[in-house]
Amino acid sequence: MVRSFLRDTDFSYAEAREVFELAGRYKRLRSAGRLDILKGQSWGLLFFKKSTRTRLSFEAGVYELGGHPMMINADDLQLSRGETVEDTAKIMGRFLHGIVIRAFEQSVVDDFAKYSGLPVVNALTDLLHPCQSYTDMFTMMEHFGKGEISVDSIKGRKFVFFGDTACNMAYSLALAGSMFGVEVVLCGPEEFRPGKELDELFADAGLKKGYTFTSDPVLAAKGADVLYTDVWVSMGKEDERARRIEKMSAYQVNEKLFKHANRGAIFMHCLPAHSGEEVSEGVLRGNRSIVFDQAENRLHVQKAIISLLARKNSV
């Protein structure tokens, strides 16, 4: 069976550690030049949604691994005129060596993996964003390990996600965090608490539920090592903007909330940020914020994810 990376738990703990180790090596050795791991290969980068970080880092990453990245806007394909996902995936399987996909439904990335016969990387769906959560674990290891990439440096850390706790980032961070022994707390309004699909993701992966939920931001921030947030209005939820902003305004990550956290606590955000909504300008731009390290690390971690898949699948 061809191995893909569709959910955070698709790699075993040992494989995920390999990803982090490799990402550290790629980061250190980036200036040494282009690698030949994907020599002669074309990887499709298929996007149904907008993106800045993901599309740029995958395009640069596939190139740096020696491959040819093909940026594909889903609107440009016959798919947008009614050709099926199944047929599109089968066609891609005849031309390409791997596909990176950003989609709305998780079923689209699952179906591309099923029908293309290629390794597929989930570059965000409404359900999950595993490339970002792995990057965030890596960035936390780098920060708390003072440059050294060690799983032990994040084990037992209190990690709190504020805001829309039923979104892709909250789910992926809960899964990835609990794989690495992080104490994950999801904090937001009751109305946007995690759905049963998150518990199913844990159960399907054979993991016990690895997070707690609270709607009390002060309680959540107490003793936290990481305060994390994401936009309150995810792609595809624009119609709910007014209601979401009203319900989530009590969950802004700001200087006042940080007062309850541990000394040395850091701020993280997958970006793009809406300053003044989910995070105050002072926290976003302040010295506790490591958001641009997170963004840069997307490149190194995704190169490692693709390399591992290429090796496992011998493509």
For residues 284 and 275, the answer to whether their CB atoms sit within 8 Å is yes
The reply to whether 244 sits near ligand CP by the rule CB under 6 A is no
Nearer to ligand CP, 51 or 262 (CB): 51
Subset of 214-273 contacting ligand NVA (CB under 6 A): 230-231, 234-235, 270
Subset of 172-201 contacting ligand CP (CB under 6 A): none
The reply to whether 54 sits near ligand CP by the rule CB under 6 A is yes
> Per-residue string for binding with ligand NVA, 146-175, x by CB under 6 A?
---------------------xxx------
The reply to whether 73 sits near ligand CP by the rule CB under 6 A is no
Closest approach, Cβ 132 to ligand CP, in A, equals 5
* Residue 230 is a catalytic residue: yes
Query: If contact means CB under 5 to 8 A according to the sort of partner, which of ligand NVA, ligand CP, none does residue 230 touch?
Result: ligand NVA
Closest approach, Cβ 230 to ligand CP, in A, equals 9
Closest approach, Cβ 248 to ligand NVA, in A, equals 13
Closest approach, Cβ 105 to ligand CP, in A, equals 17
CA distances from 263 to 101, 139, 221, 288, 291 (A): 39, 19, 12, 10, 18
Q: Which one of the listed residues 41, 106, 132, 252 is annotated catalytic?
A: 132
The reply to whether 182 sits near ligand NVA by the rule CB under 6 A is no
Q: Which one of the listed residues 270, 294, 300, 302 is annotated catalytic?
A: 270
Nearer to ligand NVA, 167 or 306 (CB): 167
Enumerate binding residues for ligand NVA (CB under 6 A).
124, 167-169, 230-231, 234-235, 270
